[in-house]
Amino acid sequence: MVNVEFDLRTAGYCKQIEKITNNQKPFHSIAFPAHFAIIRHPEKGIILVDTGYSEHFLQATTPFPYSIYARVTPVIFDLQQSAKKQLESEGIEAADVSYIIITHFHADHISGLKDFPNAQFICLSKGYHYVREKTGIRALLAGFVPMLLPEDFHKRTIFLEDGSHAQQEVVENTSLNILNHTVYDVFADRSILAVELPGHARGQIGLLIQSQNQQYFIIADAVWDSDAFRYHQLANPIAGIILDNSEDYRQTVQKLHTFYLQNKEVKMIPLHCREWDGGDKS
């Protein structure tokens, strides 16, 4: 097993009614962080998990109908918060990023892809093929903004399902088996395991990451705060409008709650959770 260095960051925020995301929360508007992760792998180099917001989001959501996206979830973003700028502040050039693992194709997770010209993209094929030909209102309803994808995206993409890169059969039992989906050993060294977390978005994945002293489970947008998996708290029914599949969402939350009860030593990270400040590392 290979250990990696893990660093959680934040690239901007969006404002939304908290009760929509968790029906047990108050009815007020709060700023949800858009987290991404920097992983330093001893052999694969610099790996990102999503990108958060970037200036490309501001440009891509100017024309109608994509402007609706920015109005529904107003964004708080400074150019220095972008993944690219944060890496550059540490002496890491954008061209040095080897891989970007995409948890799902909502705009707040892929806004910075164009900033990394040499990165290969890793995702589930079903997630990409669900959105790839969507434009206009159909794209908007899927949380997707086509202008955010690099023109050569398909040529640079590795699909977990095709087996040419990731090892699909994890020999040893893993705590992820409780989720009842295929577990992908992303680099065939058990440093990063991927598993589908359906419901919120088509082809959404979570990532179990092995650092030297800690395991982290990035659960993307399967839930928006940690109380949801701790106490099995669901979103308000109105959130069903934006979910890919409401029943899958409910089942995923139940499974994540069970995972939490059985694996409390693992730090679970929803990528919009305010309990994480974007400066946590291991």
Over residues 3-25, mean pLDDT? 97
Confidence of residue 170 (pLDDT cuts 50, 70, 90): low
Over residues 173-200, mean pLDDT? 90
pLDDT > 90? residue 175: no
Burial of 9-35, coded b for 16+ CB within 10 Å and e otherwise, reads: bbbbbbebebbbbbeebeeeebebbbb
What is the rounded distance in angstroms from the CA atom of residue 2 to the CA atom of residue 42?
Answer: 8
* pLDDT, tens digit, 9 for 90 and up, residues 187-226: 999 999 999 999 999 999 999 999 988 999 999 999 999 9
Average pLDDT value for the chain: 94
CATH class of the domain at 5-269:
alpha beta
Over residues 164-174, mean pLDDT? 63
* pLDDT, tens digit, 9 for 90 and up, residues 64-114: 999 999 999 999 999 999 999 999 999 999 999 999 999 999 999 999 999
* pLDDT, tens digit, 9 for 90 and up, residues 24-71: 999 999 999 999 999 999 999 999 999 999 999 999 999 999 999 999
What is the pLDDT at residue 281? 56
Sheet with 183-185, strands from edge to edge, namely 183-185, 192-196, 205-210, 215-218, 267-269
What letter would DSSP give residue 273? -
What is the pLDDT at residue 212? 86
What is the pLDDT at residue 194? 95
What is the rounded distance in angstroms from the CA atom of residue 43 to the CA atom of residue 139?
Answer: 37
SS percent in the chain: helix, strand, coil, step 5: 30, 25, 45
What is the pLDDT at residue 279? 55
pLDDT > 70? residue 169: no
Among left, alpha and beta (phi > 0; psi -120 to 50; other), residue 139 is: alpha
The rounded percent of the chain whose pLDDT value lies above 90 is 89
What is the pLDDT at residue 163? 74
What is the rounded distance in angstroms from the CA atom of residue 130 to the CA atom of residue 211?
Answer: 32
What is the pLDDT at residue 46? 99
What is the pLDDT at residue 73? 92
Confidence of residue 1 (pLDDT cuts 50, 70, 90): confident
* pLDDT, tens digit, 9 for 90 and up, residues 105-144: 999 999 999 999 999 999 999 999 999 999 999 999 999 9
For residue 91, give the 3-state DSSP assignment: coil
Note the helical H segments in the chain.
Answer: 18-21, 55-60, 67-72, 83-88, 107-110, 125-131, 136-141, 226-231, 246-262
pLDDT > 70? residue 17: yes
Instruction: Look at 12 and 175; give whichever has higher pLDDT.
Output: 12
Q: What is the model's pTM?
A: 0.95
What is the rounded distance in angstroms from the CA atom of residue 237 to the CA atom of residue 138?
Answer: 21
What is the pLDDT at residue 177? 84
Name which of 99-103, 150-154, 165-169, 232-236 the model is least confident about.
165-169
